[in-house]
Amino acid sequence: MSERNALRIFMASLYVFIFLAALIFTGQGLRIINAFVVPEPVYAQTAPAGFCGFASVATPLAPSVTNGAAVNASQSVANTTASAAPTIPTLTAGNIVGALVYVEQTGIRYRVDGTSPSGTFDGSPLNAGQTASVCGSDMLTWRAIASSTGPNAILRWNFYTTGR
- At 70-102, the pLDDT tens digits run 888 777 887 767 777 788 888 888 889 999 999
Mean pLDDT highest for which of 19-23, 35-39, 79-83?
A: 79-83
Highest mean pLDDT among 1-15, 29-43, 44-58: 44-58
* Whether 28 and 55 share a structural domain: no
Report the residue count for the chain: 164
**Predicted confidence (pLDDT) at residue 134 exceeds the cutoff of 90:** yes
Beta bridge partners of 131: 102
When divided into structural domains, the chain yields a total of: 2
Helix (H, G, I), strand (E, B) or coil at 26: helix
**HEC string of 94-155?**
CCEEEEEEEEECCCEEEECCCCCCCCCCCCEEECCCCEEEEECCHHHHCEEEECCCCCCEEE
127 pLDDT exceeds 60?
A: yes
Residue 130 pLDDT > 90: yes
Distance, in Å, from the CA atom of 137 to the CA atom of 60, rounded to the nearest integer, reads: 18
Q: Determine the pLDDT at residue 81.
A: 72
Q: What is the CATH number of the domain that holds 136?
A: 2.60.120
Coil vs helix vs strand at 9: helix
Q: Is residue 46 part of a domain?
A: no
What's the mean pLDDT in 65-72? Answer: 84
Q: Is residue 45 part of a domain?
A: no
Mean pLDDT (the chain, rounded)? 77
Which residues constitute the domain of residue 140?
Answer: 51-161
pLDDT for the residue numbered 33: 39
Which is higher by pLDDT, 15 or 129? 129
- The H-or-E segment that residue 5 falls in is helix 3-26
Instruction: Give a yes or no: residue 23 inside a domain.
Output: yes
Query: Are 141 and 121 members of one domain?
Result: yes
What is the C-alpha end-to-end distance of the chain, expressed in Å? Answer: 54
Question: What pLDDT score was predicted for residue 14?
Answer: 61
Chain-centre distance of CA 97, in angstroms?
15
